[in-house]
């Protein structure tokens, strides 16, 4: 069994563009995402960034970037895309120290189970307001709002249906555009 690391020990590792996460002290190093996954991540990042910048709402960032959800218990994740509102920009320093307002996970066969289960649980538990799950197989955008932040449940969008967000209420792009 590998030795558990603290967050500080994890941050002493050399910087890398490979995805890494610290899960309760254990480093998880999945293989690099495939082209289709990264293509969707790029589209989502551009759409969100254009929307957020035009309205001065905050900032958007793309993985890999460390998000420290729990310093004490050594939980550091790297969502595919994240948004932090202008009111909360103080959580961004060398890394993101706390829950983003919105995280986006692009699902693949290798990651879907973990993203829908474990990571969604962490996002809810540690205070993320909303999570978007983009399923590249079914071309579906699932917006998951967390009850502590005024929106509960899951809303799925496909095709021409316009994706709605409680975190970004003016955002209105048809679901299909995430996958074209």
> Where along the chain do its domains lie?
33-65+77-178
pLDDT at 151: 54
Q: Which CATH superfamily is domain 33-65+77-178 in?
A: tt1808, chain A (3.90.1570.10)
φ, ψ dihedrals at 5, nearest 5°: -105, 155
Q: Each residue of 74-97: pLDDT tens digit? A: 999 999 999 999 999 999 999 999
pLDDT averaged over every residue in the chain? 92
Residue 170 has pLDDT above 80, yes or no: yes
Task: Give 110's pLDDT tier (boundaries 50, 70, 90).
Answer: confident
**Which residues lie below 8 Å from residue 109, measured CB to CB, with a gap of 6+?**
137
Contact present, 103 and 115 (Cβ < 8 Å): no
Closest CA to 69 of 126, 152, 116, 138: 126
User: In 3-state terms, what secondary structure has residue 74?
Assistant: coil
d(CA 58, CA 157): 25
Residue 1 has pLDDT above 70, yes or no: no
What are 38's two structure tokens? 């990264």
Residue 112 Cα distances to 52, 76, 104, 124, 137, angstroms: 27, 19, 12, 17, 10
What phi-psi label fits residue 56: left (phi over 0), alpha (psi between -120 and 50 degrees) or beta?
left
d(CA 162, CA 90): 31
pTM for the model: 0.90
Task: Give 127's pLDDT tier (boundaries 50, 70, 90).
Answer: very high
**Which residues lie below 8 Å from residue 81, measured CB to CB, with a gap of 6+?**
41, 44, 45, 48, 60, 61, 62, 63, 103, 104
Name the maximum alpha-carbon separation found in the chain.
49
């Amino acid at each position: 069994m590998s030795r558990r690391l603290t967050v500080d020990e994890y941050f002493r590792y050399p910087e890398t563009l490979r995805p890494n996460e610290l899960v309760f002290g254990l480093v998880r190093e999945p293989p690099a995402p495939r082209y289709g996954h990264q293509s969707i991540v790029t589209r989502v990042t551009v759409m969100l960034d254009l929307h957020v910048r035009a309205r001065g709402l905050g900032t958007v960032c793309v993985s890999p970037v460390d998000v420290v959800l729990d310093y004490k218990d050594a939980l550091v994740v790297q969502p595919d895309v994240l948004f932090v509102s202008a009111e909360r920009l103080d959580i961004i320093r060398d890394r993101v120290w706390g829950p983003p307002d919105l995280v986006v996970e692009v699902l693949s066969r290798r990651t879907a189970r973990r993203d829908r289960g474990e990571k969604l649980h962490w996002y809810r538990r540690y205070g993320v307001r909303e999570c978007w799950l983009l399923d590249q197989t079914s071309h579906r955008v699932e917006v998951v709002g967390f009850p502590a932040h005024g929106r509960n449940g899951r809303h799925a969008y496909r095709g021409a249906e316009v994706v709605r967000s409680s975190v970004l209420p003016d955002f209105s792009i048809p679901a299909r555009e995430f996958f074209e």
